[in-house]
Amino acid sequence: MPGWTNFHNKWAEKMDISLSNKDLNFVNRVIDSPDKYQEYLDAVKREAEGAKRKRDTDITVEALTIHDVGRKGKREWEKYAGEFQIRFLRSKGSEFVRVWCLHHVLDRITWFLNLEHATCIKEIPKTKPEKIFKYLENITKPFSELEYVKGFVKSNLRNIVEDCERYHKLKRKSS
């Protein structure tokens, strides 16, 4: 069974992302395991030092390297963390940011699948498209890459949801 990273990469390729698997994996792992990449850690340390000089004590290395950083966005440091990851990835190119957005959207769809399993496959495409994007819109300022990903996901939502469902059935069988 392919891993979750492969699942993310598959949909990035369907979105016509031209990044190599190495770059796709880099984006996915910066989100899921940000403390594992020295390049990212170096950028985080510089960012945290700058925040410290500005007396912003909530912005720490630990805050910027948690799993799915920036996903919730309820606290200011969470919003800051999400925007920092976007800035970091944008320095590598717009496609890196698109992959970041798609990763979070796919994870959000999976969250809905887990939350509402009984009706999810039929109802998500009809009732949830805006909810899928809402949390990303709440944690970041508007940016063009998110609009691109929203268009792709809206056009492919039923297939994405069905693929997520198939993935979870395979995952449950192997558990």
Tens of pLDDT, residue by residue, the chain (175 residues): 347 788 899 999 999 999 999 999 999 988 888 888 899 999 988 888 887 777 766 677 777 777 666 555 566 767 778 888 899 999 999 999 999 999 988 888 887 776 655 455 556 665 566 777 776 777 667 788 988 999 999 899 889 988 887 876 655 555 5
Name the token pair of 27: 């984006």
Mean pLDDT of the chain: 79
Residues 6+ apart with CB under 8 A from 143: 86, 97
d(CA 175, CA 79): 34
pLDDT > 70: what percent of the chain?
A: 75
Q: What is the pLDDT of residues 59-110, one digit of tens each?
A: 777 777 776 665 555 667 677 788 888 999 999 999 999 999 999 888 888 8
